[in-house]
Amino acid sequence: MSEKLQKVLARAGVGSRREMETMISAGRVSVDGKVAYLGDRVEPQQVIRVDGHVVKTISEDAQICRVLAYHKPEGEICSRHDPEGRPTVFDRLPKLQGSRWIAIGRLDINTSGLLLFTTDGELANRLMHPKFEVEREYAVRVFGEVTDAIIQKLRTGVMLEDGQANFKKIKVLPGEGLNRWFHVMLTEGRNREVRRMWESQGTVVNRLIRVRYGDLHLPKHIPAGGYAECSLDEVNYLRELVKLPAETQSLIKAEDRSERRRRIAGMRRAVRKHQIAEKTPGRTTETKAKPKPKAKEEKPAKRPAAKPVNKKPSRAGRG
């Protein structure tokens, strides 16, 4: 069965579909020795080259759908590469061969919490599409006076630069003062939508954490900067949510409680090491050889102190 060329290349981990469309339009992709064009379809047995290099493709049926739950810390951006050299959410993810991790949605640099990744581009596209109305829940700390009228307005809808938006649910958490915590729920993921909605009411968001995506919650045992692979049941829950067929395989290995503890402890050590390396100028995570200690210089032996000479009294005038 033939498939669109950009879809096959994206599944092989070469890049996103949009990046593949750009490369095809630039004449950098060939099929069976002939330059490919946008809109071409390919069969499994055809040879695809990108910049002259053969691409190892995999059929859609043979690909195992994997999903990763990542605890994004503040300060990381949701891009593969950053011209400014800032850390990205892809830096610490496990390496893959023949595929790549695709972020399901984005969180801005000052937002932390649950960020999902998958190897299935179709699953990612459907989960991000507004028509499926997948719930996203955030814990948000707001500075400013929040009245019942403001909460009601955020529920019914406020006008933003890119159209009207509203929270499906708002839960007020216990507390007093001008710094209050709320839980809000959306079914879309527009850029900085939660922050812009609160700012439209004269308040400021000073903390924002995504705590849930669909029915998948931010795992409490994962440190900021850590990740955990989702089980087959969780993967199939997401696939059913967007009307995709169930996955039958999983690469997760069974582990007992002690193995799980060791894995999480190792993850915490790796996260701390990475954080220290980022904060220390000029330091990398690679282990450097320690310089050999210098040989001690031999000091000249001390001469024994001269003993004082006792002079006899003079005998002048004797005899």
Residue 37 belongs to what H/E stretch? none
Between CA 264 and CA 257 the distance in angstroms is 11
Catalytic residue among 108, 148, 215, 256: 108
Q: Which two tokens stand for residue 184?
A: 């809000």
The strand pair at 204-213 and 112-118 is best described as parallel
Amino acid identity of residue 136, one-letter, is: R
Cβ–Cβ < 8 Å for 251, 68:
no
Q: How far is CA 224 from CA 38, 93, 213, 243, 264, in A?
A: 41, 13, 17, 31, 12
Between CA 89 and CA 70 the distance in angstroms is 8
Tell me if residue 108 is catalytic: yes
Q: What is the pTM of this model?
A: 0.74
Cβ–Cβ < 8 Å for 241, 127:
yes
Nearby residues of 292 by Cβ (< 8 Å), 6 or more positions away:
none
Q: What is the pLDDT along the chain (319 residues), one digit of tens a residue?
A: 788 998 888 877 787 788 899 999 999 999 999 999 999 999 988 999 999 999 888 777 777 899 999 999 999 999 888 889 899 999 989 988 777 899 999 999 999 999 999 998 889 888 998 899 999 999 999 999 999 999 999 999 999 999 999 999 999 999 888 899 999 999 988 899 999 999 999 999 999 999 999 999 998 888 999 999 999 999 999 999 999 999 988 887 765 567 666 767 776 776 776 666 656 655 443 333 444 455 555 455 555 555 555 555 444 444 3
